[in-house]
Amino acid sequence: MKKFNRPIYVTAGYNTVSLGTGRKEFHPKKPRPGIEHYIEEAGRGALAQVNDASNIDEGVIANFMAPRFNRQGNIPALMPRIDPKLEYKPLVSVEGACGSGGLGLTTATKTVLSGMADTVLTVGFEVQNTVKAIYGADILGGAGHYASQRKDGHAYFFPGKFSDRACAAYEKFGYDRVREAMARWYERAILNARLCPKAQEHHNSIEDLFATGMTKPNGKAFCDCINVYDCSKVSDGASAVVFASEEGLKKLGVDKKDTVELVGYGQVVADVSKDPEDQTKLTTSARAAKAAMEMAGITTKDIGMLEVHDCFTIGGLLSLEAIGIVDYGETYDFVREGGTAPDGAMPTNLSGGLVGYGHYTGGTGVRQAADIAMQFTGRPDGQKLKEDPNKPFGLMVSMGGNDRTVVSCVFKKVQ
């Protein structure tokens, strides 16, 4: 197992509002901010927490499909809009579908580890409400294998893929058990999001969330085994964090107490053209999380909070098993019994996760890192983690496609 050649710190986390249906200020027919707005807000939000943009050595920007959603390529060249002092610096973009944000984190990490930079601004964004969801599904379908999967895929491509996973889970573990767990996941996501002013579901006022989550899937109208509440929504937003070495922190004028330490990561990629080996398992995510924890030298018992990629409720449930929080087949009861609640055995997705906070696809991985950093430095956007001194680690999983391009990171609270 390779180890870092020097400590890496993450600081200056910032998330924009996740805008889309559900937010009171969102109106599909009214003009909305474009990608420039989100990149600038997130980037400036991070830079406002360091002394000067001129002390940023390099930049990484993560995005999935701006060339189609926004007809914009040459993404790195958008970063100088954040601050003119970024102009003429080495800036790079990364793409790995919904795991783009995760790739942004590992790219920034490796840049610092290489010694070529001491400070790296990392931004992730997606602005997807430029097209109706039915056309957005085509664009997001690019996270699967176009040549072998799209033609026969569901109209809403990825909901179809995760519906297949839910079908398999129903069959293996019982419909009621799995369905109730999915509804509880939805309920918890919304309850957490209500406490986070920037979350897309912050304004959600549905009275009986569990009953809503239990809505029987209807294959004629949508998917056979998931309902719309099982899905993360279409979101516009961006997030940013700064990666730095010890020297970098000094250069930026950032105190270590305002950082978390990145102590391990796993970056694992599977063949996009292959179907999952087992629909009831996230095997690539499992490898990534295992690698991250091994590098960090921790076990799941050391983890105080999780940020998992619940693009669909079933995905959130399966990720708990992939990470090893529970054994195979136990995630359903664990979630039904409140295991992921803020006061549960494993506080998870405290700002709502993808279902509750929103899912600006290319930026979500950065949002997850920013949330963990903000939690462990005591200034979260939403509810605060009740920290356990024996569990000073936070783990995140950023997943691209149907468990294909995956990054898992382990962060440690700086004591």
Partner 1 sequence: MDLDRRLENVAVLGAAGKMGSGIALLLAQEMARLKIAAGCDKCYVLHLVDVSDVALSGLSGYLRAQLTKLAEKSIVALREGYADRADLVENGEIIQAFVEDALSVCRPTTTLDAIAGSTLVFEAIIEDKSIKLDVLKKVDSLCPDAYYLTNTSSIPIGTIDKGVPLDGRIIGYHFYNPPAVQKLLELISPAGVRPELVEMGTELAKRLRKKVFLANDIAGFIGNGHFMRDILHATSEVKRLSAEYGEAGAIYMMNRVSQDFLIRPMGIFQLCDYVGVDVCRFIMDVMTEHIDGETLEDDLLNRMAVAGVMGGQNHDGSQKDGIIKYERGRPAGVYDLAKGEYVMFADGDWTKKLDEALGSLPDGHAAWRALLMDAGKNEKLTAYFKNLAAADTLGANLAKTYLVRAKEIGEKLVSDGVANSADDVNGVMMNGFYHLYGPINEHVDQMVGAVR
Interface with partner 1 (CB under 8 A), residue from 3, 73, 88, 134: 134
Q: Judge contact between 143 and 64, C-beta under 8 A.
A: yes
Q: In the chain, how long is the greatest CA-to-CA distance?
A: 59
Q: Is 214 an interacting residue with respect to partner 1 (CB under 8 A)?
A: no
Length reported for the chain: 415
Determine the Cα–Cα distance for residues 341 and 184; give it in Å rounded to an integer. Answer: 10
Interface with partner 1 (CB under 8 A), residue from 150, 177, 203, 290: 150
Q: Is 155 an interacting residue with respect to partner 1 (CB under 8 A)?
A: yes
Question: 346-385: which residues touch partner 1 (CB under 8 A)?
Answer: none
Q: Which stretch binds partner 1 (CB under 8 A): 28-36, 92-100, 131-139, 281-289?
A: 131-139
Interface with partner 1 (CB under 8 A), residue from 46, 91, 137, 178: 137
Q: Is 1 an interacting residue with respect to partner 1 (CB under 8 A)?
A: no
Q: Is 146 an interacting residue with respect to partner 1 (CB under 8 A)?
A: yes
Toward partner 1, which CB reaches closer, 144 or 248?
144
Interface with partner 1 (CB under 8 A), residue from 2, 30, 151, 301: 151
Select from 150, 399, 151, 161 the least CA-distant residue to 266: 399
Tokens of 192: 């957490």
**Residue that the structure tokens 């430029």 belong to:** 130
Determine the Cα–Cα distance for residues 58 and 200; give it in Å rounded to an integer. Answer: 31
Toward partner 1, which CB reaches closer, 3 or 151?
151
Please tell me the count of residues contacting partner 1 according to CB under 8 A: 14
Q: Which stretch binds partner 1 (CB under 8 A): 49-57, 218-226, 333-341, 343-351?
A: 218-226
Toward partner 1, which CB reaches closer, 144 or 362?
144
Toward partner 1, which CB reaches closer, 2 or 30?
30
Toward partner 1, which CB reaches closer, 217 or 339?
217
Chain centre distance of CA 336? 23
β-strands 119-127, 58-62 pairing: parallel
Interface with partner 1 (CB under 8 A), residue from 6, 27, 132, 172: 132
Determine the Cα–Cα distance for residues 410 and 8; give it in Å rounded to an integer. Answer: 11
Q: Is 21 an interacting residue with respect to partner 1 (CB under 8 A)?
A: no
Q: Is 154 an interacting residue with respect to partner 1 (CB under 8 A)?
A: yes
* Residues facing 267 on adjacent strands: 407
Q: Which stretch binds partner 1 (CB under 8 A): 95-103, 143-151, 286-294, 355-363?
A: 143-151
Interface with partner 1 (CB under 8 A), residue from 71, 220, 327, 343: 220
Q: For 192-205, b where at least 16 C-beta lie within 10 A, e where not — what string?
A: bbbbbebbbbbebe
Given CA atoms 146, 286, 311, 110 in this order, what sign does their dihedral have? negative
Tokens of 76: 């790195």
Toward partner 1, which CB reaches closer, 141 or 248?
141
Determine the Cα–Cα distance for residues 212 and 225; give it in Å rounded to an integer. Answer: 15
Question: Distances from the Cα of 22 to the Cαs of 114, 227, 229, 233, 244, in angstroms?
Answer: 43, 17, 12, 9, 36
Question: 221-280: which residues touch partner 1 (CB under 8 A)?
Answer: 221-222
Interface with partner 1 (CB under 8 A), residue from 13, 141, 159, 382: 141
Interface with partner 1 (CB under 8 A), residue from 32, 37, 138, 302: 138
Listed in order, strand segments (DSSP E) in 232-293 are 236-244, 259-269
Q: Is 110 an interacting residue with respect to partner 1 (CB under 8 A)?
A: no
Toward partner 1, which CB reaches closer, 135 or 175?
135
One-letter amino acid of 35: I
Determine the Cα–Cα distance for residues 368 and 70; give it in Å rounded to an integer. Answer: 24
Q: Judge contact between 409 and 371, C-beta under 8 A.
A: no
Listed in order, strand segments (DSSP E) in 91-196 are 91-94, 119-127
Q: Which stretch binds partner 1 (CB under 8 A): 214-222, 311-319, 327-335, 356-364?
A: 214-222
Interface with partner 1 (CB under 8 A), residue from 51, 87, 135, 277: 135
Q: Which stretch binds partner 1 (CB under 8 A): 6-14, 137-145, 344-352, 366-374?
A: 137-145
Phi/psi zone of residue 253: left (φ > 0), alpha (ψ -120 to 50 degrees), beta? Answer: left
The binding site for partner 1 (CB under 8 A) comprises 132, 134-135, 137-138, 141, 146, 150-151, 154-155, 220-222
